[in-house]
Amino acid sequence: MSGTIETVGVIGLGNMGLAMATRLAARGFAVLGHDIGAPRRQLAAEAGISVAEDLAPVLRAADALVFSLPLARDVEAVVTTPGGLLARRDRKVVVIDSSTSDPGTTRRLARQLALAGHGLLDAPVSGGPSGAAAGTLTMMIGGSGEDYAQAGPVLDALSARAPHVGPSGAGNIVKLVNNLLVAAHLVTTGEAMRLAEAAGLSADEAIAVVNSATGRSAVSETMYPRWILPGTFDSGFSAGLMRKDVRLALELVGETGLDLPLSAHVGRLWRDAAIADGDDFTRMADFRTPGETRDV
């Protein structure tokens, strides 16, 4: 039995999860959040979000759930919590999993939830915490048409675009393809800007021209002016998470049996780069020599 979505549970109150929770609350949903970390729960409470210290109350009370979790195993642990969602029979609950996960895990969990009368949409996002807070995310939705329709009010609140790209797992496939491209663009754009500077043209001047020519990308058009040229490197997305996404993309390459040598090389560069997992992922495109600072 499905019904109107009034209460949305948000599991995972990191940069993205908290931004989505505050956006949903601003759009009139009753939001109940949970995070395993007490500091994140405190931040959410200070932002006006109702917070549960334990996971079970959220799983029992929500009409729909939004997950924003680091790894597929975290998603599985929440879905299979004893006495949690799999035990509910009062209504159909659709899980909107905004985590970037592997398609195989998503499909397996979707089957488990369907047997219990619930739904799972893999709904990875693009747009960062600022896009989540403004409701301008792009969400890539995999799952059944019925679940997609039921989750519509929540998707509309969070996103500017949320296309239904296919059955379960399709959203994660699109996200992995997208982030593999972003990972490559960060490498190539960073190298191109180092070349410009070494040849006597500032990165500022070079980027201005590239962004009106065919070499432009989201890295050059958005990430360079916001976070890389100023040297703030504070997009809110970590290098560790991008490494994880690149690894998942390359695992998918292996499953398909393709030989993608450039993608494999990008993976090695990200694996071996001298940036910590906790650093912002935009540091991968830093064109400065180590220790250099610039006024821009």
**Residues 132, 92 share a domain:** yes
**Residues 149, 26 share a domain:** yes
Q: Is the pLDDT of residue 177 over 60?
A: yes
Pick the last residue of a domain from 112, 138, 167.
Answer: 167
User: Apex CA 217: angle with CA 215 and CA 222, to 5°?
Assistant: 130
**Residues 65, 128 share a domain:** yes
Q: Is the pLDDT of residue 1 over 60?
A: no
The string of pLDDT tens digits covering residues 213-251 is 999 999 999 999 999 999 999 998 999 999 999 999 999
pTM here is 0.90
> Which residues are known catalytic residues?
175
**Residues 129, 218 share a domain:** no
Is 295 among the domain residues? no
Pick the last residue of a domain from 147, 167, 187.
Answer: 167
Beta bridge partners of 65: 9, 95
Q: Is the pLDDT of residue 289 over 80?
A: no
Buried b (16+ CB within 10 A) or exposed e, 97-127: bbbbbbbebbbbbbeebeeebbbbbbbbbbb
pLDDT at residue 291, rounded to an integer: 52
pLDDT at residue 95, rounded to an integer: 98
Between helix 103-115 and helix 72-79 the angle, nearest 10°, is: 10
Range of the domain at 195: 172-285
**Residues 179, 127 share a domain:** no
**Residues 149, 206 share a domain:** no
pLDDT at residue 280, rounded to an integer: 97
- Here the tokens at position 123 are 């709904």
**Residues 90, 125 share a domain:** yes
**Residues 142, 267 share a domain:** no
For position 52, which CATH number holds? 3.40.50.720
**Residues 141, 215 share a domain:** no
- List C-alpha distances in Å: 118 to 62, 140, 141: 12, 20, 16
Is 293 among the domain residues? no
The string of pLDDT tens digits covering residues 12-41 is 999 999 999 999 999 999 999 999 999 999
Q: Supply φ then ψ for residue 3, to 5 degrees.
A: -175, -170
**Residues 195, 66 share a domain:** no
Q: How confident is the model at residue 3 (pLDDT cuts 50, 70, 90)?
A: confident
Task: Indicate the burial class of 136 (C-beta count within 10 angstroms; 0-12, 13-18, 19 or more).
Answer: middle
The mean predicted confidence, pLDDT, of the chain is: 95
For position 281, which CATH number holds? 1.10.1040.10
Q: Is the pLDDT of residue 2 over 90?
A: no
Q: Is the pLDDT of residue 292 over 70?
A: no
**Residues 190, 160 share a domain:** no
How do strand 94-97 and strand 64-67 relate by DSSP bridges?
parallel
Q: How confident is the model at residue 296 (pLDDT cuts 50, 70, 90)?
A: very low
**Residues 187, 87 share a domain:** no
Backbone conformation region of residue 135, classed left if phi is above 0, alpha if psi is from -120 to 50, else beta: left
- List C-alpha distances in Å: 55 to 32, 35, 200: 10, 8, 56
Is 190 among the domain residues? yes
Is 294 among the domain residues? no
Question: Once rounded to an integer, what is the mean pLDDT over residues 65-88?
Answer: 95
Question: Once rounded to an integer, what is the mean pLDDT over residues 162-169?
Answer: 97
Total structural domains within the chain: 2
